[in-house]
Amino acid sequence: MDMYIKEWVNEFIDVAISFDSWMEMDRIYLQNRIETILAVDLNEAVPNHLAKQPDKLTQLLQLLPANLTNEDKGRIESELGDLLTPPPSVVNALFAKTYEVDPKQATDYLYDLSKNNHSVSSHSFSERELFCYPFIKENCLACYQQEGKLTNNFSLAKRFIRMNLANESWMLQYLSFPQLLKEGLVSYEEHQLLPVNQQTVQRLFQLATILPQFTWVYRSQLEEELQHSCYHFARYTYPVLTDTSSKKSQSLLFSDVQVEKLSSDLGISLSSANQKSLEQAAYFILEQWKQQQPTESIQLVLRKQKEVYQLVVTFQSASRLANNQTLGMSDSSMAQEEKTLTETWVEKVMAFL
């Protein structure tokens, strides 16, 4: 029994309606839009060599002529993805409404939407693969001003969630070319670098508190690369979080904070159920680093498990950063002299703590 293109189109529209992108009364309008975008007759039968797909956007893309350029295919994919996606105001309203019930459910909504409209790739890109795509860095990945544009980095269907952090406007997005599971950025509304200060730490803890399902990272090197203040997140346990020496000690300066040196000797792990004490300890370390600059980069990795926060602070040199493959991984290519200096500085900071 023949299946007609109109049936595939209606399956696609069903998905769009399920995400509150459209209502049932919009079906005829959407059928006409899709017929125009694909340049097909909806009353024709689906070619026999094509198969149904669970991803309805991928299913429709099978109908495109084989001789289309990659640029044309990408444009059509983005136009169809945009039809699956509510406008930014609706996405933000639905996110906020869902967040009141369950924060994880809210971020899952945005992630599922982003996967279905193909604004987030279903493929996890390695560092080596990203290096083969020089277009990745053509535009600032953190800038929400790209929303609604079709560029090498952004689909028309890309959506950002507006957030308030420390009475400032920030934007949450999932990365289009992820290396990690549910990987994304929260970036400052304006394309600029904010001062590295106590608020830098406070925002990081606020993010881990309101969205505890993610591990959160502040990395000075990433900000310098983008020239845009941002925080990184993913559903991922970074190796440094389990790279502890198992020799815990109580901080003398900050009550309720336990301190451990990383087994790599290139960082410090702190944990506490007292958020304020841990924030103060993190800011103390950040200030020590700013004043002495023993390394080119500092990285704060924070996760919340039940009522306990774990913060890992690592320090990286330029040569180590150049060789790192994965955020949070140690690197054996670090020059011995640099490594010794970093270890000495970590010992000094721990002595103060």
Does any domain span residue 224?
Answer: no
DSSP for 137-204 reads GSS-TT-GGGTT--SSS--TT---EEEEETTEEEEEEE-SS-SSTT-EEEEESSSSPPP-SHHHHHHH
* 8 Å CB contact between 278 and 309: yes
pLDDT of residue 129: 60
Q: Is 33 helix (H, G, I), strand (E, B) or coil?
A: helix
Q: What pLDDT, on a 0 to 100 scale, did the predictor assign at position 127? A: 60
The pLDDT score that the predictor gives to residue 290 is: 85
* Beta carbons of 83 and 61 less than 8 angstroms apart: no
Point out the domain boundary residue: 49, 83, 117. 83
Q: Write the CB contacts of 308 (distance below 8 Å, at least 6 apart in sequence).
A: 271, 272, 273
With respect to residue 221, please indicate whether it lies within any of the assigned structural domains: no
Instruction: Say yes or no: 78 and 95 in one domain.
Output: no
Same domain, 249 and 323: yes
How far apart CA 285 and CA 287 sit, in angstroms, is: 5
Same domain, 98 and 71: no
In Å, what is the CA distance from 326 to each residue of 219, 221, 265, 313?
13, 14, 18, 16
Residue 230 lies in a domain: no
CA atoms within 13 A on the CB side of 104: 5
Residue 227 belongs to some domain of the structure: no
Dist CA 304 CA 274 (whole Å): 11
Give the end of a domain, one of 58, 83, 108.
Answer: 83
Domain end position, chosen among 169, 191, 213: 191
Examine the domain organization and report whether 67 and 94 are in the same domain. Answer: no
Two structure tokens written together for 55: 């991803």
For the chain, which ranges sit under pLDDT 50? Answer: 134-137, 318-333
Do residue 108 and residue 150 come from a single domain? yes
Query: Looking at the structure, do residues 92 and 181 belong to the same domain, yes or no?
Result: yes
Q: Look at the chain and report how many structural domains it folds into.
A: 3
Query: Does residue 212 form part of some domain?
Result: no
Are both 73 and 132 inside the same structural domain? Answer: no
Same domain, 341 and 249: yes
Instruction: Note the pLDDT of residue 323.
Output: 42
Q: How confident is the model at residue 292, as a pLDDT? A: 77
Domain span holding position 135:
88-191
